[in-house]
Amino acid sequence: MYNLTAEQKKKLTEIVGAENIATQPWLRDTYGIWFASPSTEDGNIEWMARPAAILTPETTEQVQAITQYCNETDLMLHPTSTGQIVAGAATTERTLLLDLCKMNTIVELNADNMTTVVEPFVRSLDLQLESWPKECNPYVISVGAVGSTLAAATSHTGYGQYGPSCGYGPRTLLGVEWVMPDGDVIQIGSAGQKSGWFTTAGPGPDLLGVIRGFNGAMGGLGTYTKAAIKMGPWYGPKAIGDENLSFECKMPGFIMHGKLPGNMAFRAVSFPTMEAYTEAHYRVNEEYIPYAEKRPPAFLQSLGASKNSFEHVKLWESGYLQKVNRYLMSVMIIGANKEECEWKEKAFDQIVFEEGGIRMPKVLRAHPDIYDDIVRLFHDTPDKGEYKKLQQDIQERIDAIPYDEASHMAASASISGTLRNVDIGMGRPGALFTLGGNLDTWDAGIAMNEATVKMKTPLVQQGGILDDDIDTGCGNPYEGGHLGYSENIFFINRNDATGSGARALAQATGGNAENELKEGFSSFTISFGMNNERFGPLEYDYHIWTKRIKKLLDPNDSCDSTTYSGLPNHKEVEMNG
């Protein structure tokens, strides 16, 4: 175990203050276990390295001073904000972990231009509370409202259901304030020319390509202390509602306890096949109908629609979701006014019907006969003429189901539950794991799902992975549906004393990497530097370029960069060797 010397601790205390440094081993250990930690060692470990110290700087100047000190000593730094994934962890015992929780200011919110400037610990929820009243909405990645807006745009990759309306997070980045590995501070974009935070550097290549690339540097190239972000429009309610603070509710207050405004609607529609889903997906997005969209697999539907584990088990064991909603599309529709919303709803419903889909009831629990008939329609009606006739009959019966406002709101909340991030609700570092992560066409994402299902099936049969109906591919569209994201969620058996869950995780991680290498999928497996040598030759030799960039910008190895460049940190090599 590495501990700071008295001189090192004294110097760092002078920089950040005694209240902003922690060296107790037990406290440092709390920063050693992360969601997805096993991904770094093929599933064989839970714990990351114990940092040399935890620092909580409050200003850019303090971050700069820490960085300069690391250049003078054998210490390294690694910044983290809300800490949602293992990329924020230290990978060596000589790493100072910069917990940026005290840098949490919304520096600027320009509603006219729909831009904002934020510090690292501004969470999506913090920003939405301020931006919704001004009719703006930030891009929110799939870790949910507690994720860092800055980190999602600058330092890693992340995807979210607002893709159709707010774009892809890293493409919303307008500029950054960057404490470079050598301790210099620069501003990229119009801010660097003292012209305000409103645009990037202009046409042609700029430094955003260096600091961000596809997956981001994950702390390996210094610290970003401010970021300018482009937001999307928001025509929904101006307040989230304090009911959102209820753990059991899990839904915004305006959904659970209010009335949806006339320019807002939810849809849950089911399709007989993935091919039918895909055609509808492309068509509704080419018309820019969804404000938010997600394909939640059946198991995640059950999690998102249930208030607690007891409800989840009951709903899952009923079997209806697996049969009726295997190919479900959850959509939120918002118009600038009521008339636009009504047009979008009609257009959406027509496309869904033409592609063979069924719009689900506006109540949570319709009569079982309805669901039985949907199963018959999807699985036992090959004749096209008979299919359309039965489809029309079922839809008319569904639309005729009486409902009051309360039941409609409950159903809307259920759909909202499938649009929210149910995955992070499983806890860190619980049983949940994720593979895949393909940002390409929707067709490419489906192909990746199919490859993952084949790899996953024997692992479920062996008992190491939860039997969740095998298909847990979830995803959403971007930019008119021409970009699509797909990811595969699964749940590890952590109750087996024989270690079947850990073995299954190792096999899944390795099998997923082989799928990506064979089929050319881009995904999460590439996210961590230890995989660079395997994937780099297939991805424009990026493994060579990250090493060159690292050597150029960080010659003194001041930043812990294992998850970025994949290089052994020179200082760590010297310490061990």
Please give the span between the terminal C-alpha atoms of the chain, in angstroms, as a whole number: 16
Spatial distance between the Cα atoms of 420 and 425, rounded to a whole number of angstroms: 10
Spatial distance between the Cα atoms of 165 and 175, rounded to a whole number of angstroms: 21
H or E element that contains 380: helix 368-380
H or E element that contains 375: helix 368-380
Do 298 and 392 lie in one domain? The reply is yes
Tell whether 529 is covered by a domain.
no
Tell whether 545 is covered by a domain.
no
Spatial distance between the Cα atoms of 550 and 360, rounded to a whole number of angstroms: 52
Tell whether 183 is covered by a domain.
yes
Q: Which two tokens stand for residue 198?
A: 């409103």
Tell whether 246 is covered by a domain.
no
Q: Cβ distance 246 to 127 under 8 Å?
A: no
Spatial distance between the Cα atoms of 565 and 225, rounded to a whole number of angstroms: 21
- Burial-class residue 261 by CB neighbours within 10 Å (0-12, 13-18, 19+): middle
Tell whether 47 is covered by a domain.
yes
Do 45 and 189 lie in one domain? The reply is no
Sign of the four-CA dihedral 146, 151, 152, 158? negative
Spatial distance between the Cα atoms of 285 and 348, rounded to a whole number of angstroms: 10
Do 138 and 75 lie in one domain? The reply is no
Global confidence as pTM: 0.88
Tell whether 499 is covered by a domain.
yes
Instruction: Transcribe 426-472 into DSSP letters.
Output: G-SSSSEEEEEEEEE-HHHHHHHHHHHHHHHHHHHHHTSB--S-S--
- The CA distances from residue 399 to 92, 198, 466, in Å, are 60, 47, 36
Q: Cβ distance 529 to 562 under 8 Å?
A: yes
Phi/psi of residue 557, nearest 5 degrees: 55, 50
Residue 127, domain CATH: 3.30.465.10
Q: Report pLDDT for 408.
A: 65
- For residue 140, the cross-strand partners are none
Instruction: Transcribe 486-513 into DSSP letters.
Output: EEEEEEB--S-TT-HHHHHHHHHHHHHH
Treating both helix axes as pointing N-terminal to C-terminal, what angle do 298-305 and 405-419 enclose, rounded to 10 degrees? 130
Tens digits of residue pLDDT in 514-554? 777 777 776 555 556 667 777 788 778 888 888 899 999 99
Structural domain count of the chain: 4
Sign of the four-CA dihedral 22, 23, 26, 28? positive
Do 300 and 399 lie in one domain? The reply is yes
Do 203 and 278 lie in one domain? The reply is no
Do 290 and 200 lie in one domain? The reply is no
Sign of the four-CA dihedral 168, 438, 33, 66? negative
Q: Cβ distance 178 to 186 under 8 Å?
A: yes
Q: Report pLDDT for 425.
A: 43
Q: Cβ distance 529 to 566 under 8 Å?
A: yes
Q: Report pLDDT for 235.
A: 92
Q: Cβ distance 401 to 371 under 8 Å?
A: no
Residue-level pLDDT, tens digit, the chain, 577 residues: 899 999 999 999 999 999 999 999 999 988 887 655 544 444 445 678 899 999 999 999 999 999 999 999 999 999 999 887 777 889 889 999 999 999 999 999 999 999 999 999 999 889 999 999 999 999 888 777 788 999 999 998 777 888 899 888 888 999 999 999 999 999 998 888 888 898 887 777 778 888 887 778 889 999 999 999 999 999 988 876 654 444 344 445 445 445 678 899 989 999 999 999 999 999 999 999 999 998 888 888 887 777 777 888 888 888 888 889 899 999 999 999 999 999 999 999 999 999 999 998 876 666 778 889 999 999 999 899 999 999 999 999 999 988 766 666 666 666 665 565 444 444 444 567 777 677 788 888 888 888 888 888 888 888 888 888 877 788 888 888 888 888 887 777 766 656 677 677 777 777 777 777 777 776 555 556 667 777 788 778 888 888 899 999 999 999 998 888 876 665 555 444 4
Tell whether 448 is covered by a domain.
yes
DSSP 248: T
Domain that holds residue 396: 262-419
Query: Tokens 């046409």 — which residue?
Result: 203
Q: Report pLDDT for 561.
A: 87
Residue 48, domain CATH: 3.30.43.10
- For residue 148, the cross-strand partners are 123
Q: Report pLDDT for 494.
A: 65
Nearest alpha-carbon partner for 179 in 216, 215, 227: 227
Do 310 and 446 lie in one domain? The reply is no
Residue 323, domain CATH: 3.30.70.3450
Query: Tokens 């889909």 — which residue?
Result: 357
- For residue 422, the cross-strand partners are none
Say how many C-beta atoms besides its own lie within 10 A of residue 36's C-beta. 21
